């Protein structure tokens, strides 16, 4: 480049500072967060067993861990009813609901672009390999 004779060496930067959405991605897109939030958004307040039936591939232990983390993050509200037998219900919080536009945009992107991603993968997987 003309006029830019001083070049600086890049310094190490914390990835979370370099990419401000990184912490959000860690919270929202961990393995089970999106199916849990989707189920609570789509079907409303649910008991543990209802969530377990809707998300059939999650283990009870992992569901418990994820619900606790989502409650801690403020995305899910846990309600305990001191009845006999005790009843616990989970629902998406206002903070969790605020993610709806993000998920809607991602759903739109998915329907428009996942076929292109699959096509790119097939093209990549069938190309001749180059010698190393």
Q: From residue 77, how far is each of 31, 128, 129 by CA, in Å? A: 20, 52, 51
CA gap 129, 29 in Å, rounded: 33
User: Whole-prediction pTM value?
Assistant: 0.74
User: Across residues 70-89, what is the average pLDDT?
Assistant: 96
Q: Is the pLDDT of residue 5 over 80?
A: no
What structural domains does the chain harbor? 19-126 (1.10.10.10)
> How far is residue 108's CA from residue 72's CA, in Å, rounded to a whole number?
29
pLDDT tens sequence across 8-57: 556 677 765 778 888 888 888 888 999 999 999 999 999 999 999 999 99
């Amino acid at each position: 480049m003309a006029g830019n004779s001083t070049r600086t060496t890049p310094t190490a930067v914390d990835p979370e500072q370099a990419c401000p959405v990184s912490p959000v991605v860690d919270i929202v897109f961990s393995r089970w967060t999106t199916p849990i939030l989707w189920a609570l958004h789509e079907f409303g307040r649910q008991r543990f067993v209802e969530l377990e039936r809707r998300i059939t591939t999650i283990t009870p232990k992992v569901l418990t861990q994820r619900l606790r983390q989502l409650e801690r993050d403020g995305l899910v509200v846990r309600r305990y009813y001191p009845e006999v037998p005790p009843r616990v219900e989970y629902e998406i919080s206002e903070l969790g609901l605020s993610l709806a536009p993000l998920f809607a945009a991602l759903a739109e992107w998915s329907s428009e672009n996942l076929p292109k991603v699959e096509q790119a993968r097939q093209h990549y997987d069938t190309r001749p390999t180059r010698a190393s």
